[in-house]
Amino acid sequence: MRFSPRRLLCAAVLAAPLLASACAPERDQFPPACPGTALLAPTADVSIYRPGGNAGDLTGLMLAGRMETIQGKCQQGEKRGTVAATVVAGAVLVRGPAMPGNAARVPVYVAVTEGDRILDKHIYTLDAVFPSNVDRVAVTTPPVFMVLPVTPTKSAAAYVVVAGFQLTPGQLAANRANSGQ
């Protein structure tokens, strides 16, 4: 039996939905579990004072900030046994009376933990520009992409993604003293 180009085209058009359905997710397939998220209290706040000034003296405060959000979404990873997660952390920065100029850079971290172990940590810079007559701005990290290993007995919910300001030892000690930790 001889096939004409027209018959081949018709056969291809009829077969296309069947081939495409082979790539689709199984019926009633749910999205994968996502890791938990947390903002760690000792690193959720930052106060940056003028160099050489007294910490705690409001007239020397250059910048104050608070981590406010951490949000993410998940999907099946490209490789079997993985979940791909995308996370964005957000903060509010407040310009202090001693801040020179209208721009600020603050280091923040995003880390993946399992129990008490840090599995991966990356430091990012939050850049803020304060428009004229504005002392408070909201900023976010760039999207942070992660691939988490999962098994039939361990979902991505076994992990926690944490975020906070990357503080100096002095800033961390001050935060702990102020919160009673």
What sign has the CA pseudo-torsion 126, 163, 148, 85? negative
CATH top-level class of 28-179 = mainly beta
Strands 61-76 and 45-49, by their bridges, are antiparallel
- Residue 20: its pLDDT value, please? 44
pTM score: 0.78
The residue ranges of DSSP E strands in 58-142, in sequence order, are 61-76, 82-95, 103-114, 117-129, 136-140
- Residue 86: its pLDDT value, please? 93
115: Cα separation from own chain's centroid:
19
- Residue 30: its pLDDT value, please? 63
Q: What is the per-residue pLDDT across 12-46, written as a single tens digit (0 to 9) for each?
A: 445 545 444 444 455 555 668 899 999 999 999 99
Residue 91, number of CB atoms within 10 A of its CB: 26
- Residue 29: its pLDDT value, please? 59
77: Cα separation from own chain's centroid:
17
Q: Look at the block and give the residue holding tokens 């397939």.
A: 29
Q: What is the per-residue pLDDT across 118-161, written as a single tens digit (0 to 9) for each?
A: 999 999 999 999 999 999 999 999 999 999 999 999 999 999 99
Q: Which of 77, 89, 106, 91 is nearest to 37 (CA)?
A: 89
User: Which value, in Å, is the radius of gyration of the alpha carbons in the chain?
Assistant: 25
Q: What is the per-residue pLDDT across 57-100, written as a single tens digit (0 to 9) for each?
A: 788 999 999 999 999 999 999 999 999 999 999 999 999 999 99
Helices (H), the chain: 5-23, 169-179
DSSP β-bridge partners for residue 138: 92
pLDDT at 9 over 60: no
- Residue 19: its pLDDT value, please? 46
Q: Which of 177, 151, 156, 175 is nearest to 46 (CA)?
A: 175
Reported as a pLDDT band with limits 50, 70 and 90, residue 179 is: confident
Q: Where are the chain's structural domains? A: 28-179
DSSP 154: B
Reported as a pLDDT band with limits 50, 70 and 90, residue 54 is: confident
Q: What is the per-residue pLDDT across 95-114, written as a single tens digit (0 to 9) for each?
A: 999 999 999 999 999 999 99
pLDDT at 1 over 90: no
- Residue 33: its pLDDT value, please? 85
Check: CB of residue 96 under 8 Å from CB of residue 106. no
